C-alpha cells in the first residue's frame, strides 16, 4: 500500500506546473548550458593555481549530482510502476 501512495504522490508532484517550473529553473542554472554552471567553469578555468583542476572536477561532479537528484522522481515512478514478477509455481529448478 505504501508503494501505491508513493507512486501517486510522485505522479502528482511531477504533474504540477510548479514542478515543471522548478525543473526549468534548476536546468537554467545548473544544466549543461546553465548560467551558474558556465560561470563556475569559466571562473575555475581562469585560475592559475594547482587547485583549478580540482575545482573544475568539483563543479562537474556537483552539476552531475544535481541532475541525478532532479531525475529521482521520474526514475522512482518508473520503478514503482513496473509490475512485480510472478513467483507462483516456480522453484530454483524451474517451473513445477
Place of cell 522522481: 73
Q: What is the pLDDT of residues 32-85, one digit of tens each?
A: 888 888 888 888 888 777 788 888 888 889 999 999 999 999 999 999 998 877
- Position 16 scores a pLDDT of 97
Q: Are 72 and 12 in contact (CB under 8 A)?
A: no
Q: Is the pTM of this model over 0.75?
A: no
pLDDT in tens, 14-30: 999 999 999 999 999 98
| Model pLDDT, residue 26 | 94
The residue extents of the domains of the chain are 2-81
Can you list the alpha helix ranges (DSSP code H) found in the chain?
2-15, 17-30, 35-46, 51-81
Write down the pLDDT at residue 1.
45
Amino acid at each position: 500500500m505504501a508503494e501505491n501512495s508513493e507512486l501517486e504522490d510522485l505522479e502528482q508532484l511531477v504533474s504540477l506546473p510548479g514542478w515543471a517550473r522548478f525543473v526549468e529553473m534548476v536546468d537554467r542554472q545548473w544544466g549543461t548550458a546553465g548560467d551558474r554552471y558556465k560561470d563556475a567553469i569559466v571562473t575555475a578555468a581562469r585560475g592559475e593555481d594547482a587547485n583549478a583542476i580540482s575545482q573544475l572536477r568539483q563543479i562537474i561532479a556537483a552539476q552531475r549530482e544535481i541532475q541525478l537528484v532532479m531525475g529521482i522522481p521520474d526514475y522512482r515512478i518508473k520503478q514503482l510502476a513496473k509490475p512485480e514478477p510472478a513467483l507462483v509455481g516456480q522453484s530454483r529448478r524451474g517451473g513445477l
